Chains A and B, each alone.
Chain A
């Protein structure tokens, strides 16, 4: 079999203040149990890709903490490997901190002649995708680059930041433009998932990058198409996908997964999403607990009321407390009688006895990590 390396790209994740002030979106908590990048990592692992690199942009600390001993997403731990890739030089020159420069820093990927194909997946996509059929098609058609895209019903609301594709009759991309969030209607938008022949990537870097060393991978690909270096093959993904692009969307997408029709499209019994175990006991519900339409993580202690919410690991909800349409990150504590509505409470925060906070549905309130209210 051809050798494939998978790369989880943290460079292309948007900054969604205030959630990502101190962490990348990829290692941000999701559904009370996962890090968002668990989807990308599990998709690569379940697709039979054994060597996985993490292209880390910044906040390396947060990513290292989440991936732990680095074998939660490997099948054979001898054959497989998880490698953190980091561009140290970019510390001094943030503008040069791109996915391409990170790969140039970790250039063994580019030189290792045993690697035929590179599959690159953004760290912040919430989706389950079997990459094997795409790889097969890429190899069978003898393509150089395949871009995976989704057909988006409302481009104003979804996949903002992706590239809108126009295709010719052979399925090759004829032109691209940025989905900047102002274009109404439906369209085909790239997800940032690419299958690239290693040799092609090396050629692109050698021939195109000198023009502008700050170009990111997606720009480089557009340049390659323009200069007719290769044809860009576009392959469509039809499943559930959410590209988190704003704080409000993070809340909306998370809470929309409380609906069965959505969760059933995202999770499949034979496509497990792996994550780091924390060995926390099952969630404990007190005598007066009242919970409806919510996800509750292990280690949580629920003594109050929880409605349409996501409760993280080791969270304590006090007696008489009410949490509604909200997300509580791990190890936070909602005191007795406290009220939380349309809010995201970050890790280790404490809402004291009887305190009330509420945001609006369209603009949820954010409580800082470690805050005490």
Chain B
């Protein structure tokens, strides 16, 4: 059966800069916003964009991530003529190998994509936090008769050298592209979100796979080659909140951003385009007699007996009486014992902060406390 658009989510990276949080867990499966895992956002975007076939391409610590994505039921991606595929590196006739780059991860799954018979493919990253409907980007791609459309966001000039930077003409056609330029000439940053006309991408992937000098990466190899060979590449300007949570500080900041009501409204879709996630059979959250909570986001199943201010608190978290926490992220199942003080920290899943212990970070240097498991 023909499909106009299918989504391929790259979720195989290790995310080393998140330190202990990704030692045993793939970055897209890291918990976020009290209730979610990072990958919930793109999967919900796909669901809310009425994309019915989604493949999640996994590699690093793919066991728990594959289990979490499962049949796609949590995002409704398991209905009639709807599917969720999990594509990890595998043994084939030609042998077995890990994915060598983002483009290689797609190349290795050409058979799957062909079987879905798509006109266009949407390539996404499993570790971005944003809310969008991809249909607008698709109609732009079709209208421009593009071979590739790249979603871009305006970034401050001083940060531009961290991104793939594009230049485009008045019609939005890309004229130049440079991955992480030392002297950026524009502030249009690639979000790593692409729509390709599948026929064109397919041919390029096969060509690239044979190129021994290629790093098999979209930003470094595929896009520059296509641009050089006069393929029609256009930009789609994304307006709104978008965060690539790469480091402990940016993960903390993205969590704190949710305390801004207008931002959380945008991300959580105001009931129109919700973020879907796992529903743990948790009890409602309980705030104790001497508990105090302000300026925070608290998920079901949390028990708050102490004081919590400017925090994001997940299910199963226990804050004992007399514990004082501010500007922190408490991940699922962690326990803050009596009298402990926590400030500017991320307390990892199931970590225990001992009685009267003090964990103190600053806005610029957030502490990641992973503690010992229960």
Do A and B interact? yes
Tell whether B331 is near chain A: CB-to-CB under 8 Å: no
Tell whether B172 is near chain A: CB-to-CB under 8 Å: no
Q: Choose one: B274, B286, B293; the contact of A279 (CB below 8 Å).
A: B274
Q: Choose one: A277, A283, A290; the contact of B297 (CB below 8 Å).
A: A283
Chain A residues with Cβ below 8 Å from B259 are 284
Q: Choose one: A267, A272, A277, A294; the contact of B287 (CB below 8 Å).
A: A294
Q: Which of A287-314 contact B (CB under 8 A)?
A: 287-298, 302, 306, 310, 314
Tell whether B292 is near chain A: CB-to-CB under 8 Å: yes
Tell whether B289 is near chain A: CB-to-CB under 8 Å: yes
The complex places the Cα of A263 from the Cα of B284 at a distance, in Å, of 11
Tell whether A280 is near chain B: CB-to-CB under 8 Å: yes
Tell whether A274 is near chain B: CB-to-CB under 8 Å: yes
The complex places the Cα of A288 from the Cα of B293 at a distance, in Å, of 9
Contact of B281 with A292 in the complex, beta carbons under 8 Å: no
Interface size band for B: 20 to 34
Chain B residues with Cβ below 8 Å from A171 are none
Contact of A295 with B284 in the complex, beta carbons under 8 Å: yes
Tell whether A111 is near chain B: CB-to-CB under 8 Å: no
Tell whether B136 is near chain A: CB-to-CB under 8 Å: no
Chain A residues with Cβ below 8 Å from B275 are 279, 281
The complex places the Cα of A31 from the Cα of B293 at a distance, in Å, of 19
Q: Chain B residue with minimal CB distance to A298?
A: B300
Contact of A279 with B288 in the complex, beta carbons under 8 Å: no
Tell whether B135 is near chain A: CB-to-CB under 8 Å: no
Chain B residues with Cβ below 8 Å from A274 are 281
Q: Which of A253-297 contact B (CB under 8 A)?
A: 258, 263, 267, 272-275, 277, 279-297
Q: Choose one: B284, B288, B293; the contact of A285 (CB below 8 Å).
A: B293
Tell whether B283 is near chain A: CB-to-CB under 8 Å: yes
- In the complex where A33-B283, A274-B281, A280-B274 touch, is A286 in contact with B295 (Cβ < 8 A)? yes
Q: Chain B residue with minimal CB distance to A286?
A: B295
Residue from B275, B284, B292 having most chain A Cβ neighbours under 10 A: B284
Q: Which of A82-130 contact B (CB under 8 A)?
A: none
Q: Which of B273-319 contact A (CB under 8 A)?
A: 274-277, 279, 281, 283-300, 312-313
The complex places the Cα of A283 from the Cα of B33 at a distance, in Å, of 11
Chain B residues with Cβ below 8 Å from A161 are none
Tell whether B238 is near chain A: CB-to-CB under 8 Å: no
Tell whether B268 is near chain A: CB-to-CB under 8 Å: yes
Quote the shortest CB–CB distance from A301 to chain B (angstroms). 8
Per-residue CB contact flags for chain B residues 234-262 toward chain A (1 = under 8 Å, else 0) read: 00000000000000000000000001010
Tell whether A53 is near chain B: CB-to-CB under 8 Å: no
Tell whether A335 is near chain B: CB-to-CB under 8 Å: no
Say what secondary structure dominates the interface of chain A: loop
The complex places the Cα of A289 from the Cα of B291 at a distance, in Å, of 12
- In the complex where A283-B297, A285-B298 touch, is A273 in contact with B292 (Cβ < 8 A)? no
Chain B residues with Cβ below 8 Å from A292 are 287-292
Tell whether A32 is near chain B: CB-to-CB under 8 Å: yes
Tell whether B348 is near chain A: CB-to-CB under 8 Å: no
Tell whether B264 is near chain A: CB-to-CB under 8 Å: yes
Contact of A33 with B284 in the complex, beta carbons under 8 Å: yes
Q: Which of B28-47 contact A (CB under 8 A)?
A: 33-35
The complex places the Cα of A310 from the Cα of B287 at a distance, in Å, of 10
Contact of A282 with B294 in the complex, beta carbons under 8 Å: no
Per-residue CB contact flags for chain A residues 302-331 toward chain B (1 = under 8 Å, else 0) read: 100010001000100000000000000000
Chain A residues with Cβ below 8 Å from B300 are 33, 282-283, 297-298
Contact of B34 with A272 in the complex, beta carbons under 8 Å: no
- In the complex where A274-B281, A277-B279, A298-B299 touch, is A282 in contact with B33 (Cβ < 8 A)? yes
Chain A residues with Cβ below 8 Å from B35 are 281-282, 298
Give the total of A residues in contact with B, Cβ under 8 Å: 35
- In the complex where A291-B291, A298-B299, A298-B300 touch, is A283 in contact with B285 (Cβ < 8 A)? yes
The complex places the Cα of A33 from the Cα of B289 at a distance, in Å, of 20
Q: Chain A residue with minimal CB distance to B283?
A: A267
- In the complex where A282-B299, A284-B264 touch, is A272 in contact with B281 (Cβ < 8 A)? yes
Chain B residues with Cβ below 8 Å from A294 are 286-287
- In the complex where A272-B281, A294-B286, A298-B35 touch, is A286 in contact with B276 (Cβ < 8 A)? no
Q: Chain A residue with minimal CB distance to B304?
A: A291
Chain B residues with Cβ below 8 Å from A290 are 292, 294
Contact of B264 with A291 in the complex, beta carbons under 8 Å: no
Contact of A291 with B274 in the complex, beta carbons under 8 Å: no
- In the complex where A281-B264, A282-B33, A284-B264 touch, is A291 in contact with B281 (Cβ < 8 A)? no
Contact of A296 with B290 in the complex, beta carbons under 8 Å: no
Chain B residues with Cβ below 8 Å from A33 are 283-284, 300
Q: Choose one: B34, B284, B287; the contact of A297 (CB below 8 Å).
A: B284
Chain B residues with Cβ below 8 Å from A273 are 281, 283
The complex places the Cα of A267 from the Cα of B283 at a distance, in Å, of 8
The complex places the Cα of A33 from the Cα of B292 at a distance, in Å, of 21
Q: Chain B residue with minimal CB distance to A267?
A: B283
Quote the shortest CB–CB distance from B1 to chain A (angstroms). 25
The complex places the Cα of A134 from the Cα of B277 at a distance, in Å, of 36
The complex places the Cα of A281 from the Cα of B315 at a distance, in Å, of 12
- In the complex where A289-B294, A292-B291 touch, is A281 in contact with B33 (Cβ < 8 A)? yes
Contact of A296 with B294 in the complex, beta carbons under 8 Å: no
Chain B residues with Cβ below 8 Å from A284 are 259, 261, 264, 296-297
The complex places the Cα of A127 from the Cα of B142 at a distance, in Å, of 57
Per-residue CB contact flags for chain A residues 3-19 toward chain B (1 = under 8 Å, else 0) read: 00000000000000000
- In the complex where A281-B264, A285-B294 touch, is A32 in contact with B287 (Cβ < 8 A)? no
The complex places the Cα of A272 from the Cα of B279 at a distance, in Å, of 12
Quote the shortest CB–CB distance from A176 to chain B (angstroms). 36
Q: Choose one: A258, A285, A310; the contact of B295 (CB below 8 Å).
A: A285
Q: Choose one: A267, A275, A279, A288; the contact of B294 (CB below 8 Å).
A: A288
Residue from A267, A298, A314 having most chain B Cβ neighbours under 10 A: A298
Quote the shortest CB–CB distance from B348 to chain A (angstroms). 18
Quote the shortest CB–CB distance from B238 to chain A (angstroms). 22
The complex places the Cα of A221 from the Cα of B360 at a distance, in Å, of 66
Contact of B276 with A279 in the complex, beta carbons under 8 Å: yes
Quote the shortest CB–CB distance from A275 to chain B (angstroms). 8
Quote the shortest CB–CB distance from A96 to chain B (angstroms). 38
The complex places the Cα of A317 from the Cα of B257 at a distance, in Å, of 22
| 7 cross-chain pairs, A with B, having the tightest CB-CB distances, nearest first | A272-B281, A277-B279, A282-B299, A282-B34, A295-B284, A281-B268, A33-B284
Task: State the A residues within 8 Å of B (CB).
Answer: 31-33, 258, 263, 267, 272-275, 277, 279-298, 302, 306, 310, 314
Can you list 12 A-B contacts (CB < 8 A)? A31-B284, A273-B283, A282-B34, A282-B297, A283-B298, A285-B298, A290-B292, A291-B287, A293-B288, A294-B286, A295-B285, A310-B284
